[in-house]
Amino acid sequence: MSDKSKWVANKSVVYCELKGSVALLDTNRNVYFSLDGIGPFLWNYLCEGIDIKTLCQEVTSNFEVDDLTAKNDISALIKKLAEADLIRSSDN
């Protein structure tokens, strides 16, 4: 996964914000997911197709976290979201 990789929500995913969290529904499998904490902040940027490098910059600018921790945490979340088929790479 490159720093310039861009990720977007899959078309089968619908979502809404709920009191500090984001509820995600994969309409293909009828499975719900929830993001809380920094998750809603990241989800909003992912829906815009932001690249990982810029996303890390946004996180370090808005939260008290160093670059390496931000990159590792974001990469882990993106991996989980991609494995759950909630997001896809928009690089293609």
What digits encode the pLDDT tens for the residues 18-68?
Answer: 888 999 999 999 999 999 999 999 999 888 888 888 999 999 999 999 999
> How far is it, in rounded angstroms, from Cα 17 to Cα 82?
20
* Domain range enclosing 47: 7-11+37-89
Is the residue at 54 inside a domain? yes
**Number of structural domains, the chain?**
1
Is the residue at 19 inside a domain? no
Is the residue at 31 inside a domain? no
Is the residue at 20 inside a domain? no
Distances (CA, A) of 8 to 19, 69, 71, 88: 23, 22, 17, 6
Is the residue at 2 inside a domain? no
Please tell me whether the overall predicted TM-score, pTM, comes out greater than 0.75 for this model.
yes
Pairing of strands 87-89, 7-9: antiparallel
Is the residue at 68 inside a domain? yes
Distances (CA, A) of 16 to 4, 13, 91: 27, 10, 25
Is the residue at 45 inside a domain? yes
